[in-house]
Structure 1
Amino acid sequence: MTLAIFDLDNTLLAGDSDHAWGEFLVDAELVDPESHRQQNDQFYQDYLNGELDVYRYQRFALSPIAGRDPEEVAAWRKAFMNSRIKPLYQRKADTLLASHRDRGHTLMIITATNRFVTGPIAEAMGIEHLLATEPEVVDSRYTGDIVGVPTYQDGKVVRLREWLEEHGESLEGAWFYSDSHNDLPLLKLVDNPVAVDPDPTLEQYARDQGWPVMSLRD
Protein backbone atom coordinates (compact mmCIF):
# COMPACT_ATOMS: atom_id res chain seq x y z
CA MET A 1 0.00 0.00 0.00
CA THR A 2 1.31 3.43 -0.97
CA LEU A 3 0.01 6.28 1.16
CA ALA A 4 -0.83 9.68 -0.28
CA ILE A 5 -1.16 11.92 2.78
CA PHE A 6 -2.57 15.43 2.70
CA ASP A 7 -2.68 18.29 5.13
CA LEU A 8 -6.10 19.95 4.97
CA ASP A 9 -6.05 23.64 5.82
CA ASN A 10 -4.48 25.87 3.18
CA THR A 11 -3.49 22.71 1.31
CA LEU A 12 -6.55 20.84 0.04
CA LEU A 13 -8.70 23.76 1.18
CA ALA A 14 -8.09 27.36 0.10
CA GLY A 15 -8.29 28.52 3.70
CA ASP A 16 -8.20 27.35 7.30
CA SER A 17 -11.20 25.35 8.55
CA ASP A 18 -10.25 25.87 12.20
CA HIS A 19 -10.24 29.64 11.88
CA ALA A 20 -13.34 29.50 9.68
CA TRP A 21 -15.21 27.66 12.46
CA GLY A 22 -14.50 30.54 14.82
CA GLU A 23 -15.67 33.06 12.22
CA PHE A 24 -18.84 31.05 11.65
CA LEU A 25 -19.64 31.11 15.37
CA VAL A 26 -19.11 34.86 15.48
CA ASP A 27 -21.23 35.60 12.41
CA ALA A 28 -24.02 33.32 13.62
CA GLU A 29 -23.98 35.17 16.97
CA LEU A 30 -23.40 31.92 18.85
CA VAL A 31 -20.54 33.42 20.88
CA ASP A 32 -19.48 36.84 22.15
CA PRO A 33 -18.37 38.42 18.86
CA GLU A 34 -15.58 40.76 19.94
CA SER A 35 -13.88 38.43 22.44
CA HIS A 36 -14.18 35.30 20.31
CA ARG A 37 -12.90 36.92 17.13
CA GLN A 38 -9.93 38.45 18.94
CA GLN A 39 -8.96 35.11 20.48
CA ASN A 40 -9.60 33.21 17.27
CA ASP A 41 -7.34 35.56 15.31
CA GLN A 42 -4.61 35.38 17.94
CA PHE A 43 -4.63 31.58 18.00
CA TYR A 44 -4.38 31.52 14.21
CA GLN A 45 -1.41 33.87 14.30
CA ASP A 46 0.21 31.65 16.93
CA TYR A 47 -0.26 28.70 14.58
CA LEU A 48 1.31 30.59 11.68
CA ASN A 49 4.24 31.45 13.94
CA GLY A 50 4.65 27.80 15.00
CA GLU A 51 3.89 28.77 18.60
CA LEU A 52 0.35 27.43 19.09
CA ASP A 53 -0.62 25.97 22.47
CA VAL A 54 -2.73 23.29 20.83
CA TYR A 55 -4.40 22.11 24.05
CA ARG A 56 -5.47 25.63 24.99
CA TYR A 57 -6.65 26.30 21.46
CA GLN A 58 -8.74 23.15 21.21
CA ARG A 59 -10.49 23.95 24.49
CA PHE A 60 -11.32 27.34 23.02
CA ALA A 61 -12.54 25.90 19.70
CA LEU A 62 -14.66 23.18 21.32
CA SER A 63 -16.07 25.18 24.23
CA PRO A 64 -19.10 26.53 22.29
CA ILE A 65 -20.37 22.98 21.63
CA ALA A 66 -19.49 21.51 25.02
CA GLY A 67 -22.49 19.89 26.68
CA ARG A 68 -24.92 20.96 23.97
CA ASP A 69 -27.66 18.82 22.47
CA PRO A 70 -26.19 16.63 19.67
CA GLU A 71 -28.92 17.62 17.20
CA GLU A 72 -28.26 21.30 17.78
CA VAL A 73 -24.53 20.80 17.29
CA ALA A 74 -25.13 18.78 14.11
CA ALA A 75 -27.25 21.61 12.71
CA TRP A 76 -24.50 24.13 13.44
CA ARG A 77 -21.93 21.95 11.68
CA LYS A 78 -24.14 21.46 8.62
CA ALA A 79 -24.61 25.22 8.30
CA PHE A 80 -20.86 25.71 8.77
CA MET A 81 -20.07 23.23 5.99
CA ASN A 82 -22.44 24.95 3.57
CA SER A 83 -21.50 28.54 4.34
CA ARG A 84 -17.80 28.35 5.18
CA ILE A 85 -16.23 25.15 3.86
CA LYS A 86 -17.77 24.56 0.45
CA PRO A 87 -16.43 27.92 -0.86
CA LEU A 88 -12.91 26.72 0.07
CA TYR A 89 -12.99 23.62 -2.16
CA GLN A 90 -10.43 23.69 -4.98
CA ARG A 91 -10.78 22.14 -8.43
CA LYS A 92 -7.04 21.44 -8.63
CA ALA A 93 -7.18 19.64 -5.30
CA ASP A 94 -9.86 17.34 -6.70
CA THR A 95 -7.63 16.64 -9.70
CA LEU A 96 -4.66 15.85 -7.45
CA LEU A 97 -6.72 13.46 -5.32
CA ALA A 98 -8.02 11.75 -8.45
CA SER A 99 -4.49 11.28 -9.79
CA HIS A 100 -3.47 9.39 -6.65
CA ARG A 101 -6.65 7.30 -6.69
CA ASP A 102 -5.92 6.36 -10.30
CA ARG A 103 -2.49 5.08 -9.21
CA GLY A 104 -4.11 2.91 -6.57
CA HIS A 105 -2.77 4.92 -3.66
CA THR A 106 -4.46 4.99 -0.26
CA LEU A 107 -5.56 8.53 0.59
CA MET A 108 -5.32 10.06 4.05
CA ILE A 109 -5.83 13.49 5.59
CA ILE A 110 -3.76 14.30 8.64
CA THR A 111 -4.65 17.61 10.24
CA ALA A 112 -4.22 19.46 13.51
CA THR A 113 -7.85 20.57 13.28
CA ASN A 114 -10.26 18.53 15.38
CA ARG A 115 -12.43 15.74 13.99
CA PHE A 116 -15.66 17.62 14.72
CA VAL A 117 -14.69 20.16 12.07
CA THR A 118 -12.80 17.90 9.67
CA GLY A 119 -14.79 14.65 9.68
CA PRO A 120 -17.48 15.91 7.28
CA ILE A 121 -14.83 17.51 5.05
CA ALA A 122 -12.89 14.27 4.64
CA GLU A 123 -16.15 12.46 3.94
CA ALA A 124 -17.17 15.01 1.32
CA MET A 125 -13.78 14.60 -0.38
CA GLY A 126 -14.16 10.83 -0.40
CA ILE A 127 -11.08 10.32 1.78
CA GLU A 128 -11.57 7.33 4.05
CA HIS A 129 -8.64 7.76 6.40
CA LEU A 130 -8.52 10.81 8.66
CA LEU A 131 -6.09 11.49 11.48
CA ALA A 132 -7.24 14.56 13.40
CA THR A 133 -7.19 15.92 16.92
CA GLU A 134 -9.85 13.93 18.76
CA PRO A 135 -12.53 15.71 20.81
CA GLU A 136 -13.71 13.96 23.94
CA VAL A 137 -17.32 12.75 23.80
CA VAL A 138 -19.22 11.49 26.85
CA ASP A 139 -22.83 10.33 26.61
CA SER A 140 -23.01 11.62 23.01
CA ARG A 141 -22.02 15.15 24.05
CA TYR A 142 -18.74 16.96 23.52
CA THR A 143 -16.99 17.79 26.79
CA GLY A 144 -14.88 20.62 25.34
CA ASP A 145 -11.64 18.68 25.92
CA ILE A 146 -9.58 16.39 23.69
CA VAL A 147 -8.24 12.87 24.10
CA GLY A 148 -4.94 11.37 22.97
CA VAL A 149 -2.08 13.08 21.17
CA PRO A 150 -3.15 16.10 19.08
CA THR A 151 -2.09 15.85 15.44
CA TYR A 152 0.06 18.99 15.52
CA GLN A 153 3.76 19.24 14.58
CA ASP A 154 5.52 16.11 15.96
CA GLY A 155 2.12 14.81 17.05
CA LYS A 156 1.34 14.08 13.41
CA VAL A 157 4.31 11.71 13.29
CA VAL A 158 3.30 10.05 16.56
CA ARG A 159 -0.28 9.46 15.44
CA LEU A 160 0.74 8.30 11.96
CA ARG A 161 3.22 5.78 13.38
CA GLU A 162 0.44 4.43 15.60
CA TRP A 163 -1.83 4.08 12.56
CA LEU A 164 0.87 2.33 10.53
CA GLU A 165 1.53 -0.14 13.32
CA GLU A 166 -2.16 -0.81 13.80
CA HIS A 167 -2.65 -1.49 10.07
CA GLY A 168 0.63 -3.31 9.49
CA GLU A 169 1.77 -0.75 6.94
CA SER A 170 4.87 1.35 6.30
CA LEU A 171 5.75 4.74 4.82
CA GLU A 172 7.63 3.22 1.90
CA GLY A 173 6.94 5.35 -1.17
CA ALA A 174 4.58 7.64 0.77
CA TRP A 175 3.64 11.16 -0.30
CA PHE A 176 2.83 14.09 1.97
CA TYR A 177 1.47 17.43 0.79
CA SER A 178 1.46 20.45 3.11
CA ASP A 179 1.57 24.23 3.15
CA SER A 180 3.03 24.70 6.62
CA HIS A 181 6.43 24.65 8.30
CA ASN A 182 4.59 23.11 11.27
CA ASP A 183 4.53 19.92 9.19
CA LEU A 184 8.27 19.67 8.63
CA PRO A 185 8.62 16.71 11.03
CA LEU A 186 6.37 14.59 8.79
CA LEU A 187 7.55 16.08 5.49
CA LYS A 188 11.11 15.04 6.37
CA LEU A 189 9.93 11.50 7.06
CA VAL A 190 8.28 10.58 3.75
CA ASP A 191 9.88 9.62 0.44
CA ASN A 192 7.87 12.20 -1.51
CA PRO A 193 7.39 15.51 0.35
CA VAL A 194 5.58 18.26 -1.57
CA ALA A 195 5.15 21.88 -0.50
CA VAL A 196 1.73 23.21 -1.55
CA ASP A 197 1.19 26.98 -1.57
CA PRO A 198 3.77 27.03 1.21
CA ASP A 199 4.39 29.61 3.89
CA PRO A 200 7.73 31.44 3.49
CA THR A 201 9.60 29.20 5.95
CA LEU A 202 8.48 25.99 4.29
CA GLU A 203 9.03 27.35 0.78
CA GLN A 204 12.63 28.25 1.54
CA TYR A 205 13.29 24.88 3.18
CA ALA A 206 11.63 22.98 0.32
CA ARG A 207 13.63 24.81 -2.34
CA ASP A 208 16.87 24.26 -0.38
CA GLN A 209 16.10 20.53 -0.24
CA GLY A 210 15.00 20.31 -3.86
CA TRP A 211 11.44 19.30 -2.94
CA PRO A 212 8.62 19.98 -5.39
CA VAL A 213 6.71 23.22 -4.77
CA MET A 214 3.25 23.49 -6.28
CA SER A 215 0.00 25.46 -6.09
CA LEU A 216 -3.58 24.21 -5.95
CA ARG A 217 -5.11 27.67 -6.02
CA ASP A 218 -7.47 28.26 -8.94
Structure 2
Amino acid sequence: MGLRKTSVTFFDLDHTLLPIDSDYSWGVFTQDIGWTDPVAFKRRNDEFFEHYKAGTLDIHDYVRFATQAVRLRGPHEAAKAHERFMHDVIASAIRAEATQLVRAHQQAGDIVVIVTATNEFVTAPIAKALGVDELIAVQLERDASGWITGEIRGVPSAREGKVARVAQWLEARGWDWGAVESTFYSDSINDLALLEHVNTPVATNPDERLRALATERGWRILDLFEKT
Protein backbone atom coordinates (compact mmCIF):
# COMPACT_ATOMS: atom_id res chain seq x y z
CA MET A 1 0.00 0.00 0.00
CA GLY A 2 1.43 3.36 -1.01
CA LEU A 3 1.86 6.28 1.34
CA ARG A 4 -0.98 8.78 1.41
CA LYS A 5 -0.08 11.92 -0.50
CA THR A 6 -0.12 15.32 1.16
CA SER A 7 -3.27 17.22 0.18
CA VAL A 8 -2.71 20.83 -0.87
CA THR A 9 -5.61 23.13 -1.72
CA PHE A 10 -4.84 26.29 -3.66
CA PHE A 11 -7.24 29.20 -3.81
CA ASP A 12 -7.25 32.19 -6.11
CA LEU A 13 -8.24 35.28 -4.14
CA ASP A 14 -10.13 37.92 -6.13
CA HIS A 15 -13.66 36.88 -7.13
CA THR A 16 -12.91 33.43 -5.73
CA LEU A 17 -12.54 33.83 -1.96
CA LEU A 18 -13.54 37.49 -2.15
CA PRO A 19 -16.54 38.79 -4.14
CA ILE A 20 -14.40 41.77 -5.21
CA ASP A 21 -11.05 42.39 -6.89
CA SER A 22 -8.77 43.50 -4.06
CA ASP A 23 -6.20 45.07 -6.40
CA TYR A 24 -8.78 47.19 -8.20
CA SER A 25 -10.50 48.02 -4.91
CA TRP A 26 -7.21 49.20 -3.38
CA GLY A 27 -6.85 51.56 -6.35
CA VAL A 28 -10.33 52.94 -5.76
CA PHE A 29 -9.49 53.33 -2.08
CA THR A 30 -6.40 55.42 -2.91
CA GLN A 31 -8.68 57.72 -4.88
CA ASP A 32 -11.09 57.97 -1.97
CA ILE A 33 -8.37 58.99 0.49
CA GLY A 34 -6.91 61.55 -1.89
CA TRP A 35 -3.71 59.74 -2.82
CA THR A 36 -4.47 59.59 -6.54
CA ASP A 37 -6.19 61.81 -9.09
CA PRO A 38 -9.84 60.70 -9.21
CA VAL A 39 -10.15 61.18 -12.98
CA ALA A 40 -6.77 60.19 -14.44
CA PHE A 41 -6.15 57.33 -12.01
CA LYS A 42 -9.64 55.89 -12.44
CA ARG A 43 -9.31 55.95 -16.21
CA ARG A 44 -6.02 54.03 -16.16
CA ASN A 45 -7.17 51.68 -13.38
CA ASP A 46 -10.27 50.81 -15.42
CA GLU A 47 -8.14 50.26 -18.53
CA PHE A 48 -5.81 47.88 -16.71
CA PHE A 49 -8.78 46.00 -15.25
CA GLU A 50 -10.26 45.49 -18.71
CA HIS A 51 -6.91 44.19 -19.95
CA TYR A 52 -6.82 41.77 -17.01
CA LYS A 53 -10.27 40.44 -17.81
CA ALA A 54 -9.28 40.06 -21.47
CA GLY A 55 -6.07 38.23 -20.55
CA THR A 56 -3.86 40.94 -22.10
CA LEU A 57 -2.55 42.68 -18.97
CA ASP A 58 1.13 43.70 -18.87
CA ILE A 59 1.57 42.97 -15.19
CA HIS A 60 4.90 44.81 -14.91
CA ASP A 61 3.34 48.05 -16.18
CA TYR A 62 0.34 47.51 -13.95
CA VAL A 63 2.37 46.94 -10.78
CA ARG A 64 4.41 50.10 -11.42
CA PHE A 65 1.15 52.01 -11.80
CA ALA A 66 -0.66 50.37 -8.88
CA THR A 67 2.17 50.82 -6.37
CA GLN A 68 3.18 54.38 -7.28
CA ALA A 69 1.09 56.10 -4.62
CA VAL A 70 2.26 53.64 -1.97
CA ARG A 71 5.91 54.13 -2.92
CA LEU A 72 5.62 57.89 -2.66
CA ARG A 73 3.88 57.80 0.73
CA GLY A 74 6.40 55.49 2.39
CA PRO A 75 5.98 52.46 4.65
CA HIS A 76 4.41 54.12 7.69
CA GLU A 77 1.64 55.95 5.83
CA ALA A 78 1.11 52.94 3.57
CA ALA A 79 0.63 50.60 6.52
CA LYS A 80 -1.85 52.95 8.15
CA ALA A 81 -3.80 53.30 4.92
CA HIS A 82 -3.90 49.54 4.47
CA GLU A 83 -5.33 49.15 7.98
CA ARG A 84 -8.15 51.49 6.93
CA PHE A 85 -8.59 49.55 3.69
CA MET A 86 -8.97 46.31 5.64
CA HIS A 87 -11.55 47.92 7.92
CA ASP A 88 -13.49 49.92 5.34
CA VAL A 89 -13.39 47.59 2.32
CA ILE A 90 -12.11 44.09 3.00
CA ALA A 91 -13.86 43.27 6.29
CA SER A 92 -17.31 43.35 4.67
CA ALA A 93 -16.00 41.40 1.64
CA ILE A 94 -14.88 38.42 3.73
CA ARG A 95 -17.96 36.20 3.53
CA ALA A 96 -18.86 33.29 5.77
CA GLU A 97 -19.17 31.02 2.74
CA ALA A 98 -15.51 31.60 1.88
CA THR A 99 -14.14 31.20 5.38
CA GLN A 100 -16.20 28.05 5.90
CA LEU A 101 -14.77 26.55 2.70
CA VAL A 102 -11.22 27.36 3.77
CA ARG A 103 -11.80 25.92 7.27
CA ALA A 104 -13.32 22.75 5.84
CA HIS A 105 -10.13 22.07 3.88
CA GLN A 106 -7.94 22.95 6.84
CA GLN A 107 -9.93 20.69 9.16
CA ALA A 108 -9.60 17.87 6.62
CA GLY A 109 -5.83 18.19 7.00
CA ASP A 110 -5.12 20.03 3.75
CA ILE A 111 -2.39 22.61 3.46
CA VAL A 112 -4.21 25.71 2.21
CA VAL A 113 -2.43 28.22 -0.01
CA ILE A 114 -3.69 31.42 -1.61
CA VAL A 115 -2.21 31.96 -5.10
CA THR A 116 -2.94 35.41 -6.47
CA ALA A 117 -1.84 37.77 -9.22
CA THR A 118 -2.32 40.67 -6.81
CA ASN A 119 0.82 41.96 -5.10
CA GLU A 120 1.97 41.01 -1.62
CA PHE A 121 1.45 44.51 -0.16
CA VAL A 122 -2.27 44.35 -0.85
CA THR A 123 -2.83 40.66 -0.15
CA ALA A 124 -0.69 39.62 2.83
CA PRO A 125 -3.08 41.16 5.42
CA ILE A 126 -6.07 39.72 3.53
CA ALA A 127 -4.66 36.19 3.61
CA LYS A 128 -4.07 36.60 7.35
CA ALA A 129 -7.66 37.78 7.85
CA LEU A 130 -8.88 34.69 5.98
CA GLY A 131 -6.82 32.49 8.31
CA VAL A 132 -4.43 31.33 5.58
CA ASP A 133 -0.72 31.26 6.44
CA GLU A 134 0.61 30.31 3.01
CA LEU A 135 0.49 33.05 0.35
CA ILE A 136 1.90 33.05 -3.17
CA ALA A 137 1.48 36.60 -4.47
CA VAL A 138 3.31 38.94 -6.80
CA GLN A 139 6.54 39.72 -4.97
CA LEU A 140 7.82 43.29 -4.98
CA GLU A 141 11.42 44.36 -5.39
CA ARG A 142 12.87 46.33 -2.48
CA ASP A 143 15.52 49.05 -2.42
CA ALA A 144 18.43 49.32 0.01
CA SER A 145 16.10 50.72 2.67
CA GLY A 146 13.72 47.79 2.29
CA TRP A 147 10.96 49.80 0.63
CA ILE A 148 9.23 48.75 -2.59
CA THR A 149 10.54 50.04 -5.93
CA GLY A 150 7.55 49.32 -8.17
CA GLU A 151 9.27 46.44 -9.93
CA ILE A 152 8.39 42.75 -9.60
CA ARG A 153 10.81 40.31 -7.97
CA GLY A 154 11.04 36.94 -9.66
CA VAL A 155 8.24 35.32 -11.62
CA PRO A 156 4.90 37.09 -11.22
CA SER A 157 2.16 34.75 -10.01
CA ALA A 158 -0.13 35.47 -12.95
CA ARG A 159 -1.42 33.18 -15.69
CA GLU A 160 1.28 30.56 -16.47
CA GLY A 161 3.42 32.19 -13.78
CA LYS A 162 1.13 30.68 -11.16
CA VAL A 163 2.24 27.20 -12.23
CA ALA A 164 5.90 28.24 -11.98
CA ARG A 165 5.47 29.84 -8.56
CA VAL A 166 3.53 26.85 -7.19
CA ALA A 167 6.29 24.57 -8.50
CA GLN A 168 8.83 26.71 -6.61
CA TRP A 169 6.69 26.50 -3.48
CA LEU A 170 6.53 22.70 -3.78
CA GLU A 171 10.27 22.40 -4.44
CA ALA A 172 11.07 24.49 -1.35
CA ARG A 173 9.29 21.80 0.67
CA GLY A 174 11.01 18.91 -1.07
CA TRP A 175 7.95 17.97 -3.11
CA ASP A 176 6.99 17.89 -6.75
CA TRP A 177 3.58 17.74 -8.42
CA GLY A 178 3.49 13.96 -8.12
CA ALA A 179 4.03 14.08 -4.36
CA VAL A 180 0.82 15.95 -3.57
CA GLU A 181 -2.90 15.64 -4.18
CA SER A 182 -3.71 19.12 -5.45
CA THR A 183 -6.94 21.12 -5.75
CA PHE A 184 -7.32 24.64 -7.14
CA TYR A 185 -10.32 26.94 -6.85
CA SER A 186 -10.47 29.85 -9.33
CA ASP A 187 -13.00 32.09 -11.03
CA SER A 188 -10.92 33.12 -14.02
CA ILE A 189 -9.94 31.82 -17.43
CA ASN A 190 -6.63 33.60 -16.69
CA ASP A 191 -5.91 30.72 -14.31
CA LEU A 192 -6.44 27.98 -16.88
CA ALA A 193 -2.79 26.86 -16.79
CA LEU A 194 -2.92 26.06 -13.06
CA LEU A 195 -6.44 24.63 -13.26
CA GLU A 196 -5.15 22.19 -15.88
CA HIS A 197 -2.12 21.32 -13.77
CA VAL A 198 -3.80 20.24 -10.53
CA ASN A 199 -5.57 16.96 -9.80
CA THR A 200 -8.89 18.63 -8.99
CA PRO A 201 -9.82 21.92 -10.68
CA VAL A 202 -12.86 23.75 -9.27
CA ALA A 203 -14.35 26.59 -11.31
CA THR A 204 -15.51 28.91 -8.54
CA ASN A 205 -17.84 31.81 -9.31
CA PRO A 206 -16.50 31.32 -12.85
CA ASP A 207 -16.40 33.93 -15.55
CA GLU A 208 -18.33 33.14 -18.72
CA ARG A 209 -15.42 31.52 -20.57
CA LEU A 210 -14.33 29.40 -17.62
CA ARG A 211 -17.89 28.28 -16.91
CA ALA A 212 -18.28 27.10 -20.51
CA LEU A 213 -14.93 25.28 -20.41
CA ALA A 214 -15.63 23.69 -17.03
CA THR A 215 -19.01 22.47 -18.27
CA GLU A 216 -17.40 21.02 -21.39
CA ARG A 217 -14.69 19.23 -19.42
CA GLY A 218 -16.88 18.06 -16.56
CA TRP A 219 -15.06 20.07 -13.92
CA ARG A 220 -16.84 20.91 -10.70
CA ILE A 221 -18.51 24.33 -10.74
CA LEU A 222 -19.02 26.08 -7.41
CA ASP A 223 -21.06 29.26 -7.17
CA LEU A 224 -19.89 30.35 -3.75
CA PHE A 225 -21.51 33.77 -3.78
CA GLU A 226 -22.68 36.49 -6.10
CA LYS A 227 -19.96 38.71 -7.54
CA THR A 228 -20.10 42.44 -6.96
TM-score class, shorter: over 0.9
The equivalent residue for 1:108 is 113
Q: Determine which of 130, 151, 154 is the counterpart of 2:135.
A: 130
The equivalent residue for 1:150 is 156
Structure 2: stretches of 5+ with no match in the other structure: 1-5
Q: Secondary structure at the match of 1:217?
A: coil
Question: Which range moved further: 179-188 or 97-106?
Answer: 97-106
In the alignment of these two chains, the number of paired residues is 218
Matched-pair identity in %: 41
TM-score normalised according to structure 1 size: 0.97
Offset from partner CA, 1:44-92 (integer Å, 9 cap, x none): 1111111111110011111111143321111011111111111211111
> What CA distance in whole angstroms lies between the structure 2 residues aligned with 1:145 and 1:83?
28
Offset from partner CA, 1:157-194 (integer Å, 9 cap, x none): 11111111111123332110000000000000011100
The equivalent residue for 1:29 is 34
> What CA distance in whole angstroms lies between the structure 2 residues aligned with 1:158 and 1:8?
18
> What CA distance in whole angstroms lies between the structure 2 residues aligned with 1:69 and 1:200?
39
- Residue 47 (structure 1) aligned with residue 55 (structure 2): no
Offset from partner CA, 1:108-145 (integer Å, 9 cap, x none): 00000000000000111111110000112221322122
Q: Determine which of 174, 177, 195 is the counterpart of 1:187.
A: 195
For 1:36, the aligned partner's letter is F
For 1:142, the aligned partner's letter is I
Structure 1: stretches of 5+ with no match in the other structure: none
How well do the aligned residues superpose, as a CA RMSD in angstroms?
1.1
Q: Determine which of 204, 211, 218 is the counterpart of 1:210.
A: 218
**Does structure 1 conserve the Cα–Cα contact (< 8 Å) formed by 2:184 and 2:195?**
yes
Q: Secondary structure at the match of 1:149?
A: coil
Q: Secondary structure at the match of 1:30?
A: coil
**Does structure 2 conserve the Cα–Cα contact (< 8 Å) formed by 1:134 and 1:146?**
yes
Q: Secondary structure at the match of 1:109?
A: strand
TM-score normalised according to structure 2 size: 0.93
CA offset at residue 206 of structure 1?
A: 0.5
